[in-house]
Chain A
Amino acid sequence: DADVTQTPRNRITKTGKRIMLECSQTKGHDRMYWYRQDPGLGLRLIYYSFDVKDINKGEISDGYSVSRQAQAKFSLSLESAIPNQTALYFCATSELGSSYNEQFFGPGTRLTVL
């Protein structure tokens, strides 16, 4: 079984709809991250959380919100989806106390906003 899972894997939605992407992990890691990937831009950090009570904005948080429901769960919401949020979204985890912050990624969610 995968250590980091994301649901759904693919989603097509319409402009203005509310969308939630979910991430679960069984690695026991405290740190969790949400990234988006656009062609030619690499990965950009949306939000990150170092524990259940800690939420931080990343590079591109506008238009997104997150919820850390438990150590193992970190959800990303698009309150009112717009077409330029069409992208591949990745959840990642890393171990608290790790000096090098190696991150482990979920399989990705491909989101299309029409």
Chain B
Amino acid sequence: AQKVTQAQTEISVVEKEDVTLDCVYETRDTTYYLFWYKQPPSGELVFLIRRNSFDEQNEISGRYSWNFQKSTSSFNFTITASQVVDSAVYFCALSEALRSNYQLIWGAGTKLIIKP
């Protein structure tokens, strides 16, 4: 069955440290999509990135980078030189093209605390 695991419930680092949030997924589909969303303390959900199963290139956007590895079924998210504003809950999600009618399967989230 499809599943998304974010094993890190909470991570706390000091500002300017690098931090990696792990996401491991399970799927039987060959075509699928992976997402990261950010939920700041204000509560809204902010889309960060989408990656499809055919594109294993790593992505970098400013201080954010994503490492997609099909061999380990992982889609990890790294924040470089973290800032207090990065404090939020981060969710990883999976969408399967065929089996789940494009529903999003969500991980439980990782709460990231950046201390000044």
- Chain A interface (Cβ < 8 Å from any Cβ of B): 31, 40-45, 48, 58, 88, 90, 94, 98-105, 107-108, 110
Residue contact A102 to B109, C-beta cutoff 8 Å: no
A94 surroundings in chain B (CB, below 8 A): 102
Which 8 residue pairs are nearest across A and B when measured between Cβ atoms?
A: A101-B102, A42-B106, A105-B45, A100-B33, A42-B108, A43-B106, A101-B95, A108-B43
Q: Find chain B residues with CB under 8 A from A99 CB.
A: 33, 97
Nearest B residue (CB) for A101: B102
Residues from 31 to 77 in B contacting A, C-beta threshold 8 Å: 33, 35, 43-45, 47, 50, 52
Contacts of B107 in A (CB 8 A): 42
What is the bound-complex CA distance between A44 and B108, given in angstroms? Answer: 10
Residue total for B at the interface (Cβ-Cβ under 8 A): 19
Determine the chain A residues whose CB is within 8 A of the CB of B35 once the complex forms.
102
Interface residues of B in 1-55 (CB under 8 A from A): 9, 33, 35, 43-45, 47, 50, 52
Measured CB to CB, the residues of B under 8 A from A are 9, 33, 35, 43-45, 47, 50, 52, 91, 95, 97, 102-104, 106-109
**Which chain A residues lie closer than 8 Å to B106 at the CB level?**
42-44
Having A45-B103, A100-B33, A107-B44, one finds 9 other A-B pairs with CB under 8 Å, namely: A40-B9, A40-B108, A41-B108, A42-B107, A48-B103, A98-B102, A100-B52, A103-B104, A108-B44
Max count, chain A CB within 10 A of own CB: residue among B33, B104, B108, B109 = B104
Contact of A101 among B9, B45, B91, B104 (CB under 8 A): B104
